[in-house]
Amino acid sequence: MFDHDDPPEPTGAIDDDRLRLIFTCCHPALAMETRIALTLRMVGGLSMPEIARAFLVQETAMGQRITRAKSKIKAARIPYRVPAAEDLPGRVSGVLAVLFLIFNEGYLATGPDTDPVRHDLTAEAIRLTRLIRALLPDDGETAGLLALMLLTEARRTARVSPGGELVTLAEQDRGAWDPALIAEGHRLVRERLAARVAPGRYQILAAINAVHTSARDVRDTDWSQVVALYDQLVRIDPSPIVTLNRAVAVAELDGPDVALATVDRLAARLADYHAFHATRADLLRRLGRSQESRAAYDKAIELAGNTAETAYLTRRRDQLG
C-alpha cells in the first residue's frame, strides 16, 4: 500500500487488521488533518468526494493533500508499524477522529448514489471503537465516542421514512429507537460523569445525545441543559459547525430570531455547507419570512448529497406559502 519493503511487523497490542492499519496510518509525523484524510482514504473506504465533504474543502484540494502525505511517507521513510501498547494513548485522538468521520458518513451518507444511511459504515465504526475501548478502558474520549455512536445508532431505523425521506429528531417515532443501545450509551455517559474529569468533545456530544434520548417526547427535551452542554463544547471546540448546532438548540430556548442572528454571522465560513442553509431555511420559515426561507431551502437542496435529506428539504420548501 505504501511501497515499503520492510518485513511484516508483529501484531503487537492490536489484533484486528483494520484497526491496526488505522493506528499505523495515524502517525504523529503527519499533521492531524492529513492523518485523518489519508486514513479515511486508505483504510476507511471513503471516496475522495466523501472525504472532501467531511472537511468542507474542494475535492481537488483534498486530493493534493493526500498525495503530499503519501510523498512525505515515502521520502521520510516513516515506518508503518504496529504501535507498542505504551504508544497507543498518543495515537488515539487521530484514530477516534477517523472513526467519528466514518460513522458520520454512514449516519448521513453524503453521496447521491448511495443509501441515505449506510449501516455497514456505522456498524464497523462501532465495532472498532469497542476494540479501542477494550484496549484503553480508562480513556474518557473513547468511552464518549462509543456512547455518542450508540445513542445515534439507536435512532437509525426511525431516521428514514418508508418513502425514503429523512425524519428529523423532533418527528421520529421514539418507540422505534433501540432501548438496549440507549441504555448502554446512557451507562457510558454516567460512567464518565462519575469520573469527575473534565470532559472532551466526544463526551460532551454524547451527553447532548443522552439528553435527547432521555426525553419520551420532543416537548420533554431539556433545552436549557442542551444549550449549557453546547456552551461547554464551544469552549473546547469553537468551530462554526458547533456554533451552528448550538443555535438550533437556542432557537428552542430563546426563539428563532435569536438563533438566526447567530446563524447569519456564520455565512462566510459555512457558505458551502448544506446544513447551514437548511438551518437558516427552517428559522426563516418559523419567523414567517417565506420568500427568504424558500431561497435558503433551494441552496440547501443544491448542496445536499443525501437523497433522504434532499427529499425532506424539498417537501419542506414546497409546503411554504
Instruction: For residue 300, give the CATH number of its domain.
Output: 1.25.40.10
Grid look-up 484497526 returns: 19
Give the end of a domain, one of 52, 84, 104. Answer: 104
Strand partners, 166: 160
| Residue 73 pLDDT | 79
pLDDT band at 239 (very low <50, low <70, confident <90, very high): very high
pLDDT band at 16 (very low <50, low <70, confident <90, very high): confident
Rounded Cα distance between 123 and 209, Å, is: 18
pLDDT band at 45 (very low <50, low <70, confident <90, very high): confident
CA 168 to chain centre: 16
Average pLDDT, the chain: 88
**Least confident piece of the model among 31-40, 176-185, 263-272, 278-287:** 31-40
Rounded Cα distance between 14 and 1, Å, is: 19
Alpha helices in the chain (DSSP H): 17-25, 32-42, 48-55, 59-76, 88-107, 119-135, 140-153, 179-195, 201-214, 223-236, 240-254, 256-264, 274-286, 290-303, 307-318
Residue 191 belongs to a domain: no
Residue 71 belongs to a domain: yes
| Integer CA distances (angstroms), 300 to 94, 200, 279, 303, in order | 30, 31, 9, 5
- Cell of residue 38, nine digits: 489519508
- Residue type for position 17: D
Residue 283 belongs to a domain: yes
Residue 281 belongs to a domain: yes
Give the end of a domain, one of 64, 80, 104. Answer: 104
Strand partners, 160: 166
Task: Residue 87: give the domain boundaries.
Answer: 1-104
Cα angle 250, 103, 88 (rounded to 5 degrees) comes to 110
Under 8 Å CB-to-CB from 41, ≥6 apart: which residues?
48, 51, 66
Grid look-up 409546503 returns: 319
Residue 140 belongs to a domain: no
DSSP-assigned states of every residue in 11-53: -TT---HHHHHHHHHS-TTS-HHHHHHHHHHHTS---HHHHHH
Rounded Cα distance between 68 and 64, Å, is: 6
Q: Please say if the pLDDT value at position 96 is more than 60.
A: yes
**Nearest by Cα to 94 from 31, 14, 17, 18:** 31
Give the end of a domain, one of 104, 129, 157. Answer: 104
Residue 255 belongs to a domain: yes
**Least confident piece of the model among 91-95, 116-120, 182-186, 231-235:** 116-120
pLDDT in tens, 257-305: 999 999 999 999 999 999 999 999 999 999 999 999 999 999 999 999 8
**Least confident piece of the model among 65-69, 138-142, 307-311:** 65-69
Grid look-up 484486528 returns: 16
Under 8 Å CB-to-CB from 57, ≥6 apart: which residues?
none
Residue 61 belongs to a domain: yes
Residue 58 belongs to a domain: yes
- Looking at the structure of the chain, the number of domains it has is 2
| Residue 50 pLDDT | 80
Q: Please say if the pLDDT value at position 115 is more than 90.
A: no
